[in-house]
Amino acid sequence: MFIESAQIAIIGAGPAGAHLASQLADAGLEVLLFDPKGAWEKPCGGGVPTRALREFAFILESTDYPRKLIHRVTLVSANGRRVSVDVDRPFAIYSREVLNQLVLDRAINAGAKFVQAAVKNFVRSGDHWILVTDDDRAWRAEFLVGADGAASFTRRKLAGIFPQQDLALAFGYNIPFDEQLDKGIKTEEVTIQFSPDFTGYLWAFPRPGMMNFGVAAKLGERTSDELRQLLSAFVRRYYGGRMPESERLNFFGAKIPTLDYASWADLRAFGEGWALIGDAAGFCDPITGEGIYYAFKSADTLAHAFDVQRMYHPQNFQEVAALYEIMWHNYFGKELQRASQLLPRFYRGTFFGRPFPNAVIFLAAHHRGVREVLVNALIGEQSYVTLKQDLLNRAYQIF
């Protein structure tokens, strides 16, 4: 016997799933939103890029949810050269638990029904889905959405898991501030450090009340032990040569979708009566690992597909998934595909005869125009399609 029926079932209540739930509920649709954790501390930096703040203004308008606005970023090349850039249009850093709570609260207030339980199975039955939660309750829905992250249970059943070449490994520490022990720690700027011989970087993100340190690299390029050693050395340098007390170190780890260029041709994010959004679909910037913007953007895109479908066939959702496929390709898919194509050149290629990150940081230290391109890339406002040409144009101005 079904506990409840609805038009839409969404598995995963992070930024992608909860934002979609609020959009669809606002439009008058019946929405079930499933997640066993609710708002929880996802293992990542928590940076929300400037373009996300611009396109989804409610994020900053929701002032009851603490965040830190970042106006300065320091980049460190593999050879130790540093450049600090001021960000006129700041980006925000949240605890992911806080950001998730913000978006989940909006979904519930819009009328979505939040079910705090894990979906352990679902099957297609005729023109609808039957979902079973871990407490053995059964639910019925006409359309199913997977928004449950890179290790998505939904994706595994509908489209298969991501292969190793399409994933990055990320882990790190959240370290609470201690006013007595942490004097001199930079709590108002982000630091990003590149290292030789792997596709990724290390980061230090200040959050409200804590520092977030991490490292991300393409899966299989470095062992976990090697990455942990790099991260520990990075954290020790930040704290003046010492590691913070073990009781203050809150470890995290996760996998991030970073699709290879060839993988986009066969990427599946929809099917009959279902769609994937956010990390579950593979929508993440492969160069930076930033996925929050694409979580919101893919949710908005699917909501738009529902709007278009209802204009012509208000009684069914038969064309929603196919419309969504066309829309995400046009709205942001080409940009992500281009980023995948650039990924090896960004980390392993050369620019003016030097490793690309080293050259860009060197040039940025000497020329405002290069710094502007770099800042736009950091805040998500620089197109990857024109990145190299824009850098070349600015760099030649130096000479």
Task: Tell me phi and psi for residue 17, to 5 degrees.
Answer: -65, -45
Place of tokens 């609470």: 176
Instruction: Report the top-level CATH class of 2-38+96-163+261-343.
Output: alpha beta
Q: Which of 120-129, 271-280, 369-378 has the lowest mean pLDDT?
A: 369-378
- Cβ pair 47, 92 in contact under 8 A: yes
Domain with CATH 3.50.50.60 in the chain: 2-38+96-163+261-343
**Residue 46 to residue 50: CA distance in whole angstroms:** 13
Task: Tell me phi and psi for residue 347, to 5 degrees.
Answer: -95, -30
The predicted pLDDT at position 110 comes to 98
The predicted pLDDT at position 187 comes to 78
pTM over 0.85: yes
E strand intervals along 39-185: 47-48, 68-76, 82-93, 113-115, 119-125, 128-133, 138-146, 167-176
Q: What is the mean pLDDT of residues 239-255?
A: 89
**Residue 60 to residue 337: CA distance in whole angstroms:** 29
Q: Kindly state the percentage of the chain with pLDDT values over 90.
A: 62
Greater pLDDT, 89 or 118: 118
Q: How far is CA 268 from the centre of its chain?
A: 19
Q: Strand 128-133 vs strand 138-146: parallel, antiparallel, or unpaired? A: antiparallel
pLDDT category, 397, cuts 50, 70, 90? low
The predicted pLDDT at position 395 comes to 63
Angle, helices 96-110/15-26, rounded to nearest 10 degrees: 20
Query: How many CB atoms sit inside 10 A of residue 24's CB?
Result: 27
The predicted pLDDT at position 398 comes to 52
Interval 48-91: pLDDT, tens: 999 999 999 999 999 899 999 999 999 999 888 998 888 888 89
pLDDT category, 204, cuts 50, 70, 90? very high
Q: What is the mean pLDDT of the chain?
A: 90
At 338, list the tokens: 């281009």
The predicted pLDDT at position 12 comes to 96
Say yes or no to pLDDT of 14 above 80.
yes
Say yes or no to pLDDT of 168 above 50.
yes
At 135, list the tokens: 């407490």
Say yes or no to pLDDT of 354 above 60.
yes
Closest listed residue to residue 167, CA positions, set 252, 96, 260: 260
User: Which residues lie closer than 8 Å to 268 by C-beta, 6 or more apart?
Assistant: 158, 159, 160, 276
